[in-house]
Amino acid sequence: MAANYNEKLLLNYVPVYVTLPLGVVNVENVFADPETVETQLKRLKEEAGIDGVMVDVWWGIIESKGPKQYDWTAYKTLFQLIARLGLKIQAIMSFHQCGGNVGDVVTIPIPKWVREVGESDPDIYYTNRRGTRDIEYLSLGVDNLPLFAGRTPVQMYSDYMGSFKENMLELIEAGAIVDIEVGLGPAGELRYPAYPQSQGWVFPGIGEFQCYDKYLKSEFKEAAAKAGHPEWDLPDNAGEYNDKAEETGFFKTNGTYVSEEGKFFLTWYSNKLIFHGDQIIGEANKIFAGLKVNLAAKVSGIHWLYNHHSHAAELTAGYYNLYERDGYRPIARMLSKHYGTLNFTCLEMKDTDNSAEALSAPQELVQMVLSKAWKEGIEVAGENALETYGTKGYNQILLNARPNGVNHNGKPKLRMYGFTYLRLSDTVFQENNFELFKKFVRKMHADQDYCGDAEKYGHEIVPLKTPNSHLTVEDIADAAQPSGAFKWDAETDMKVDG
């Protein structure tokens, strides 16, 4: 009987991954400190029972020498070490620069030969209205332009993923690499770089639209003319990074954002982002189809100004999300076409974590985004946004992982596919921190022992299927209809301090 009961409880198990330090393979493409990594991972596996790790695989490191000159040696050594310890790997295809975002402690730019193109043509980068360039990631305006030694960015990303597959096939087929998270923007997230700290943005600023490079500018003018409004232009009244929404013509009550011109712009801006994700995830799907891996994309948790009628910070980042328009379900719809997982963030946050002026609502945001992905029939994974070592954050993550708690009779109605903890550091191992972290993992596992067989908790990975239909503008419009969220319990039934 007990065995049977435990089998049912196992169906509530949520695997826990830990993100490796950003510079675990350094900018010189050297896996510099295997001894420390091995010691720490052994402890995490043997004492805490974690299921795996997440690793950034930096484009700026692997293809640094020149076009198609890939060097996977250091990463192979790292991955083999992880696999030998019996841990699973979530690999991020990191096509962005490391440095300039929250928590970035090392700098890894995109490849130098790519940046050299930007010296003569700075419009390859996302650009704000004042003409400031953001060099973290190539503008989606050049996705299909062969400006890089004859290749387009989409081809470069595709070739890179193809080379990754060739070089890591053994580890994929052995079941060591289980997830490929495809980087789609700054910080690896499907978004525009609307709130760059490197340009002076501070929380909770509204951010800025990033579509003023010459390529996106001309695409917008073309789209407006086609819609019969050649006089429409990109916004010139949306303020600057740290303005307040109500002080701008665009985001204020009854501002431009609710006008026909504003709606046209916001639809264009957000659709460009979704189709950018669709095209690159589509390339990943072609490459990894038939292999037993999951594809994933990361969506940013823009919880500030969520309670402002304009949702200004979400709009500038490319998420056209308002009270009467859903900005997240269209992204989930796009991912569903490719059998992808939506990876979300800020799972540890509570509404009370930030000052009232931030109009921040992470709990509602998480509820909304997870609900929409589940309604689209896709899996959801997630992570914490900021360093988390305390009871409050862990309990909030546990609530989001199983919003209606543990089902003692089998699979719960709502359950996240996995959780990734940011990030491995010495602080995690400080005595009280580590004790609490071990409890947290145990509770995520529904009070069950570590389980190395994902099939037992309903996570058998099947060969990746190819899409049976393509994403259309109509799909996005349909998914954008408001549709409510699932109900969450007030608190988790699996508290770390319960």
Show binding-site residues for substrate.
56, 96, 104, 298, 303, 345, 384-385, 423
d(Cα 367, Cα 484) in Å, to the nearest integer?
A: 10
Half-sphere exposure of 487 (CA within 13 A, CB side): 3
Identify which of 29, 340, 334 has the alpha carbon closest to the alpha carbon of residue 181: 340
Catalytic residue among 189, 283, 348, 376: 189
Two tokens, residue 121: 């043509």
Q: How far is CA 4 from CA 114, 402, 408, 410, in A?
A: 57, 21, 11, 10
Feature table: binding site? 56, 96, 104, 298, 303, 345, 384-385, 423
The CA-based angle 69-116-317, given to 5 degrees, is 100
Half-sphere exposure of 212 (CA within 13 A, CB side): 19
Instruction: State the amino acid at position 84 in one-letter form.
Output: R
Annotated catalytic residue 189? yes
d(Cα 495, Cα 306) in Å, to the nearest integer?
A: 27
DSSP 301: -
Catalytic residue among 136, 376, 379, 383: 383
94 φ/ψ angles, rounded to the nearest 5 degrees: -95, 95
Annotated catalytic residue 383? yes
Mind giving me the DSSP string for 6-54? HHHHHTT---EEEEPPTTSB-TTS-B--HHHHHHHHHHIIIII---EEE
Catalytic residues, by residue number, are 189, 383
